Amino acid sequence: MPGPRKPRGDPRSTKITTDDTGTSAERVGAELPTSKEEIEALFGVAFADAFNRHSLVPGATIRDLEQLPPPHVDFSIKCARADFLELGEIAPRGVEFGRAAAAGDWLDVYQFGYWIYEEIVRAKGDSYDRKIVERTFLLLYPTFEEFFPNDTLIACLQSICFWRGTRFADVFLYWGNPVEPASAPSLAWRLTHLPRVPPPPETFKGRKYKNLPMARANVADGGISFEVQLGPGVPS
Domain assignment of residue 148, yes or no: yes
Q: Is residue 55 part of a domain?
A: yes
Q: Would you say residue 33 lies in a domain?
A: yes
Residue 3 lies in a domain: no
Check residue 233 and give its pLDDT: 45
Q: Is residue 226 part of a domain?
A: yes
Q: Which domain holds residue 148?
A: 13-235
Question: What was the pLDDT predicted at 4?
Answer: 47
Q: What is the pTM of this model?
A: 0.83
The domain total for the chain is 1
Q: What is the mean pLDDT of each run of 10 residues along the chain (236 residues)?
A: 52 59 60 88 94 94 96 96 97 95 94 98 96 98 92 97 98 87 74 96 97 59 47 46
**What Rg do the C-alpha atoms of the chain give, in angstroms?**
18
**SS3 state at 228:** coil
Residue 1 lies in a domain: no
Q: Is residue 126 part of a domain?
A: yes
Whether 50 is in a domain gets the answer yes
Residue by residue, DSSP assigns 65-122 as EEE--TTS-SEEEE-SS-SEEEEEEE--TTSHHHHHHHTTPPEEHHHHHHHHIIIIII
